[in-house]
């Protein structure tokens, strides 16, 4: 194993276990720092995209959001790097491939990644100093800025609450899906840390004191409570020596009571109705969320961990999935969501009917339990389960996480067991579990899981989320009155103190870091950067007038096929139908397959098909761009022919006339579109704003932005009157985008 003898010779560390992780072609080593008890996990391999992460187990005792506020605050300057915003300054002189921090229900993590050795070392240094030696003890204004503070400009002005996390969580709590997620954990885990909101409930954030904030850091942000992860191609022994010399050796071992308490199972299901706010103009009908949420074992059971991901696909996610389809056919909700939520000690499985009626609760439970009982007794579709297994195995093998480095995702996945005193390699060594599940399909294993965990399991919460008109406005009014009453109770001296603190905080925020402080942030020099760029190697040919581009590179036996069609023949006013077409093709029947059979066929033989609409700007002529309708499929080399044939089936033989199916797709697409906008409103606003002066952004706005969402909203609400027109337009757009193809 790479450097194993060097690691064993390190006096500051004890090697606990080492073994080859064949699935990742990596050497895994578990160590402990002798002086502090800090936990270390290394994954050594040939990946130049190196990852470092330090995390802490941070169970919240209330919903004031102290873990979240600390996550923000420790990155506002430290002893060694006192600049007020190291994030911003680091980006100016870094080639990082990832730089962020995340708060979870029971942990807070600080990961960085870079392909440049000097850059990687710089990032490690800044982050280690940030978490262990933050400026929060010297400057209370950091807490006020990132957490919360009273804001008073003058005696005759109203008193307000402000703060980065406070405002962020007000936005989060405006989404009904977020409110539901919050209450699922609150209701399922009343006696554990999961009953609290680690991100912070705006109602309780102002209860957090500066003293409690500092106490949380001094308690949990200690090497004895840390989980340190290193991944990639580097001298691991050298990195560990540096960590000990610069940071860990300065601390003594400390007993930190951060153990996550196991919630005792319920004797019978619990039920609760909660509310979310809608405006006066929004309708109350078809606006309720019905949900059933059941606890499934623990995160330390690898078979359950994978099997319930596959059951999520089989029961809910796949087009035509039986549980989802049964609820839709019964007219319960316009979108069925949910699935398996892991990453906590006791995961849960949810089934959620969105845009339903409150009085459908009984029917919802009857259809849900009845369908599950039928599936458990009569058996799941074997082809569908095998498709789900193949789909997830392909994803695990491919390890394509988009812009996130795979080493980062491996580290986060290791915490799904490591944080609970399990083996960090438990979920990374997946092949044995997949092999078991493939055999277990024929032995009724998945049906037994449905019976044990989803039917005969009282550890369950039924939650109804109902709309309430102007609830947000009422809360704001109540808050304004509370603040006004508080202001009225203050003496003149106390008011002047708040005015002074408000002014001083603004001055602190406006004052730039000094030149001396800025110079302490480590920056890359030109000499640290390789002069040669990565070379893209391709060959270009054509056949029957169609341009073909081939890239020769190592892809672990996976072939990536991408087919692009120009959208220049589509009239501008019809561009929203191009966006809709990507949600329809592949999710409707074809001449040879039902849409559920089509999905099973795809996932049995490939890593999946993805349809998208995008645009490529002309870098020479800013006003020009190329809009495309794209299809991607990932297959093993020997199945490239299948890739072409299944795309041909989708493009040339899809049946667009099924009004019922089209209505279901429209409702689901509208539902997911709204969720996307609500979860990233800032991005949607930027897209909308730039569409007024950028042709590329205007195209993207019409095919996937707010304009597109308004189109979906109108089409779904008026589907009965417009369905003929919608079908006709989809066929027209199909013919325009895909010349020579009959839709």
Query: Catalytic site residues?
Result: 71, 146
- Cα torsion for 222, 227, 232, 236, to the nearest 10°? 60
In DSSP terms, which residues pair with 30 in a beta bridge? 17, 41
Alpha carbon separation from 330 to 324, 326, 546, 661, 669 (Å, rounded): 10, 6, 46, 14, 19
Q: Which residues of 7-29 are buried (b: 16+ CB within 10 A; e: fewer)?
A: beebebbebeebeebebbebbbb
Q: How many CB atoms lie within 10 A of CB 507?
A: 10
How far from the centroid of its chain's Cα atoms is residue 28's Cα? 26
Q: Which residues contact 447 (CB under 8 A, 6 or more apart)?
A: 375, 376, 377, 379, 380
Mapped onto helix, strand or coil, the DSSP state of residue 253 is coil
**Nearest alpha-carbon partner for 126 in 84, 186, 169, 81:** 81
DSSP type of residue 334: S
**Nearest alpha-carbon partner for 291 in 327, 260, 241, 322:** 327
**How far apart (Å, rounded) are the C-alpha atoms in residues 401 and 407?**
10
**Concatenated DSSP letters for 218-245?**
HHHSSGGGEEEEEEESS-HHHHHHHHHH
Q: How many CB atoms lie within 10 A of CB 540?
A: 8
**Concatenated DSSP letters for 594-635?**
-HHHHHHHHHHHSS-EEEEEEEEE-SSSTT-EEEEEEEEEEE
Q: Which residues contact 623 (CB under 8 A, 6 or more apart)?
A: 695
Q: Are 147 and 64 in contact (CB under 8 A)?
A: no
Q: How many CB atoms lie within 10 A of CB 626?
A: 15
Largest CA distance in the chain: 84
Host H or E run for residue 372: helix 361-378
Host H or E run for residue 103: strand 102-103
In DSSP terms, which residues pair with 78 in a beta bridge? 134
Alpha carbon separation from 559 to 197, 556, 635, 641, 643 (Å, rounded): 43, 9, 5, 11, 9
Strands, E assignment, 128-182: 149-151, 160-162
Q: Which residues contact 666 (CB under 8 A, 6 or more apart)?
A: 580, 712, 715, 716, 719, 726
How far from the centroid of its chain's Cα atoms is residue 242's Cα? 32
Q: What share of the chain is helix, strand, coil (3-state, %, to 5)?
A: 50, 20, 30
**How far apart (Å, rounded) are the C-alpha atoms in residues 719 and 573?**
19
Q: How many CB atoms lie within 10 A of CB 155?
A: 12
**How far apart (Å, rounded) are the C-alpha atoms in residues 301 and 621?**
56
Q: Are 135 and 76 in contact (CB under 8 A)?
A: yes
**Nearest alpha-carbon partner for 287 in 129, 506, 84, 469:** 469
Region of 339 (left: φ > 0; alpha: ψ -120 to 50; beta: rest) is left
- 499 φ, ψ to 5°? -65, -45
């Amino acid at each position: 194993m790479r450097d194993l003898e060097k690691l064993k010779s390190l006096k500051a560390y004890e090697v606990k276990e080492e073994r080859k992780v064949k699935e990742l072609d990596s050497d895994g080593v578990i160590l402990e720092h002798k002086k502090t008890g800090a936990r270390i996990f290394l994954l050594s391999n040939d990946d130049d995209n190196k990852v470092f992460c330090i995390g802490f187990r941070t169970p919240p005792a209330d919903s004031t959001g102290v873990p979240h506020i600390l996550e923000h605050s420790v990155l506002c300057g430290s002893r060694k790097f006192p600049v007020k915003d190291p994030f911003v300054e680091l980006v100016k002189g870094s080639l990082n491939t990832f730089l962020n921090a995340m708060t979870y229900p029971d942990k807070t993590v600080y990961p960085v990644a870079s392909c440049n050795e000097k850059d990687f070392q710089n990032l490690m240094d800044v982050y280690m100093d940030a978490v262990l030696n933050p400026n929060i003890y010297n400057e209370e204004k950091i807490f006020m800025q990132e957490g919360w503070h009273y804001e008073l400009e003058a005696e005759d002005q109203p008193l307000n609450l402000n703060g980065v996390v406070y405002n962020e969580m007000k936005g989060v709590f405006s989404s009904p899906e977020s409110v539901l997620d919050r209450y699922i954990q609150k209701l399922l885990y009343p006696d554990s840390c999961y009953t609290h909101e680690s991100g912070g409930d705006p109602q309780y954030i102002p209860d957090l004191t500066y003293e409690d904030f500092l106490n949380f850091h001094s308690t949990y942000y200690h090497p004895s409570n840390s989980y340190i992860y290193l991944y990639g191609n580097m001298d691991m022994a050298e990195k560990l020596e540096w960590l000990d010399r610069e940071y860990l050796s300065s601390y003594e071992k400390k007993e930190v009571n951060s153990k996550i308490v196991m919630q005792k199972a319920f004797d019978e299901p619990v039920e609760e109705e909660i509310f979310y706010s809608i405006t006066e103009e929004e309708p109350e009908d078809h606006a309720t969320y019905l949900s059933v949420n059941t606890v499934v074992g623990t995160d330390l059971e690898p078979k359950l961990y994978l099997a319930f991901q596959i059951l999520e696909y089989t029961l809910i996610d796949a087009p035509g999935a039986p549980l989802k389809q049964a609820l839709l056919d019964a007219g319960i909700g316009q979108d069925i969501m949910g699935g398996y939520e892991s990453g906590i000690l006791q995961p849960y499985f949810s089934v959620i009917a969105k845009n339903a009626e409150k009085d459908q609760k009984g029917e919802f439970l009857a259809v849900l339990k009845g369908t599950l009982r039928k599936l458990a007794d009569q058996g799941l579709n074997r082809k569908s389960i095998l498709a789900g297994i193949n789909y997830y195995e392909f994803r695990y093998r491919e390890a394509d996480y988009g812009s996130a480095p795979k080493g980062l995702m491996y580290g986060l996945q290791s915490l799904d067991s490591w944080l609970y005193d399990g083996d960090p390699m438990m979920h990374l060594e997946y092949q044995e579990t997949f092999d078991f599940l493939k055999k277990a399909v024929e032995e009724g294993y998945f049906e037994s899981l449905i019976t044990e965990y989803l039917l005969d399991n009282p550890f369950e919460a039924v939650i109804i989320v109902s709309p309430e008109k102007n609830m947000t406005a009422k809360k704001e009014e109540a808050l304004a009155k509370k603040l006004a009453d508080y202001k009225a109770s203050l003496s003149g001296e106390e008011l002047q103190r708040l005015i002074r603190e408000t002014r001083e905080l603004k001055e602190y925020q406006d004052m730039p870091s000094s030149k001396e402080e800025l110079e302490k942030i480590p920056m890359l020099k030109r000499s640290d950067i390789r002069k040669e760029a990565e070379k893209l190697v391709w060959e270009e040919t054509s056949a029957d007038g169609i341009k073909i581009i081939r890239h020769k590179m190592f892809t672990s036996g996976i072939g990536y096929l991408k087919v692009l069609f120009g959208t220049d023949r589509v009239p501008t006013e019809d561009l929203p139908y191009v966006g809709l077409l990507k949600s329809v093709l592949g999710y409707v029947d074809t001449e040879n397959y039902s849409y559920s059979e089509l999905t099973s066929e795809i996932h049995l033989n490939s890593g999946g098909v993805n349809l998208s609409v995008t645009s490529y700007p002309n870098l020479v002529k800013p006003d020009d761009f190329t809009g495309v309708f794209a299809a991607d499929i990932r297959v093993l080399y020997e199945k490239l022919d299948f890739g072409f044939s299944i795309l041909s089936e989708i493009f040339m033989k899809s049946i667009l006339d099924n009004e019922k199916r089209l209505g279901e797709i429209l409702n689901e697409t509208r539902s997911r579109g709204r969720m996307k906008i609500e979860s990233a409103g800032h991005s949607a606003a930027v897209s909308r704003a730039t569409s007024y002066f950028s042709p590329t952004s205007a195209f993207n706005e019409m095919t996937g932005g707010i304009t597109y969402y308004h189109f979906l909203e109108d089409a779904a609400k008026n589907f009965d009157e417009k369905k003929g027109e919608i079908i006709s337009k989809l066929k027209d757009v199909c013919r325009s985008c895909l010349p020579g193809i009959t839709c």
